[in-house]
Amino acid sequence: EVVLLTLSSWAKTILKHPLTIFCLIPGIIIYVVCNQIDGPHQQYFSEFEFIVEFVIWWFGLGVLSSVGLGTGMHTGVLFLFPHIFKVC
């Protein structure tokens, strides 16, 4: 219950922040709308999505490695091998 209250309080604070209201939410709306429209800009959206996925993948790998899931076969099976298969 304490965790839920903390997460709820944190979410309310984030959603009320001016950066979220004036930059993040309109940016997400513009991205979703522009991604639905066909055109030459779709190439850039695909590249952007690949880069975001790549960064999140390796950031997640770094975080999980720092908490002890980064030894030997665990890292290879969960992160590195699927990434190698996707890239190659």
- pLDDT (0 to 100) of residue 62: 76
Query: How many CB atoms neighbour CB 84 within 10 A?
Result: 10
pLDDT in tens, 22-39: 998 899 999 999 999 999
pLDDT more than 90, % of the chain: 32
- pLDDT (0 to 100) of residue 70: 57
- pLDDT (0 to 100) of residue 57: 84
> For the chain, what is the mean pLDDT?
83
pTM for the whole structure: 0.59
If one compares 19 and 66, the residue with the highest pLDDT of the two is 19
Cα–Cα distance for residue pair 71/64, rounded to 1 Å: 10
Cα separations in angstroms, 15 against 5, 9, 23: 15, 10, 11
